[in-house]
Amino acid sequence: MARAISPMQDIHSIGKNPNRILNVIFIALAFSCIIPFIFILMISISSEDSIKEFGYQFIPQAFSLEGYKYVISGSDQLMTSYMVTITVTILGTLGGLFLISTYAYALSRRDFAYKRFFTVIAVIPMLFGGGMVANYMIVSRFLDIKDTIFALILPMMMNSTYMFVLKSFITSSVPDAIVESARIDGASEWRIFFRVVMPMVVPGLATIALFLVLGYWNDWMNAMLYIETDKLMPLQYLLIRIENSMSFLADNAAQMGVTGIEAAANLPKDSAKMAIVVLSTVPILFAYPFFQKYFVKGLNLGAVKE
């Protein structure tokens, strides 16, 4: 005969398996994060007329790719901007990882003679900033890299916050005894850095790399300040210019006469804006899985206080 289970026993059994509750909660949270992107995707493939008549809907009343056609109408420039952004992201991330990791490694060594001085140098930018004018003068006058690809890479290559996170990670993950053993064996500082320390802090490097990738991919401010050549225009700035041109055409259609009114009427304003979001977001989504398995571990260990 089956034994009856009381409600109190159910509650007690659930209490013994809290992971089930957490799994349900996290699945719901993950689904809630995906819903907005799916919603944007559905709007981007909706016809402009259906959006005007029925509003935004998860299931479009009429499918259309006019928004994407409008955005990629200048396909040559779009592909050029994609390549510029990809190049800047790769070079900036690799260069940033090298600078941040070498700086963090030096400050993590207790026998580094100038540790206090370089710590202060790293802390100053976290507390005080020169402002946009000073940055512009340095990039355009002092370094003379305006309207070059270096203007998109160098300003974001070093970050004191990322450096201190990685320094804490190295301190908590690399025992001094391992470094001293490598020195006794005759290894140089560069060999210790690349062959001993770096393999032990891969989660921390992956975490910093993810932050750098997102920063470079989403950057448009440096392009607006320093880039005048279309061949060096990154993706985000190009999409912003497309959206601004759409808004300008829609707001000034009356002043342009019949031609302007007709053009504004046929403009896929809402669907094109959502298409811009999709085009700028989807490529970077493929980068996250490469860092995901290290991300949480890197944040947790990197946050350990000395």
> In angstroms, how far is CA 202 from the centroid of its own chain?
19
Q: What is the mean pLDDT of residues 277-300?
A: 70
State the pLDDT confidence band at 272, using cuts at 50, 70 and 90.
confident
Of 121 and 58, which is predicted with more confidence?
Answer: 121
- Tell me the two tokens of residue 259: 């031609």
Give all domains of the chain, ordered by start, each with its CATH number: 68-302 (1.10.3720.10)
155-214 per-position pLDDT tens digit: 999 999 999 989 988 988 888 888 888 888 888 889 999 988 998 888 889 889 989 998
71-103 per-position pLDDT tens digit: 777 667 888 888 999 999 999 999 999 999 999
Q: What is the pTM of this model?
A: 0.79
Question: What is the C-alpha to C-alpha distance for residues 157 and 38, in angstroms, rounded to an integer?
Answer: 33
Residue 302: what pLDDT?
45
State the pLDDT confidence band at 294, using cuts at 50, 70 and 90.
low
State the pLDDT confidence band at 268, using cuts at 50, 70 and 90.
low
Residue 280: what pLDDT?
81
Measured at the CA of 255, the angle between CA 268 and CA 250, to 5 degrees, comes to 20
> φ and ψ at 55, to 5 degrees?
80, -170
Residue 298 predicted with pLDDT over 60: no
Question: What is the C-alpha to C-alpha distance for residues 237 and 197, in angstroms, rounded to an integer?
Answer: 38
Average pLDDT, rounded, for the chain = 81
Question: What is the C-alpha to C-alpha distance for residues 82 and 76, in angstroms, rounded to an integer?
Answer: 10
- Alpha carbon separation from 253 to 72, 183, 262 (Å, rounded): 22, 72, 8
Q: Helices (H) and strands (E) in the chain — how many of each? A: 18, 0
179-192 per-position pLDDT tens digit: 888 888 888 889 99
Of 19 and 138, which is predicted with more confidence?
Answer: 138
Task: Give buried/exposed letters for 236-270 (b at 16+ CB in 10 A, else e).
Answer: bbbbebbbeebeeeeeebeeeeeeeeeebeebbbb
Share of residues in the chain with pLDDT > 70 (%): 81
If phi > 0 it is left, if psi is from -120 to 50 it is alpha, else beta; for residue 131 that is: left
Residue 1: what pLDDT?
45
33-69 per-position pLDDT tens digit: 888 888 888 888 888 778 777 778 888 888 888 888 8
Residue 303: what pLDDT?
47
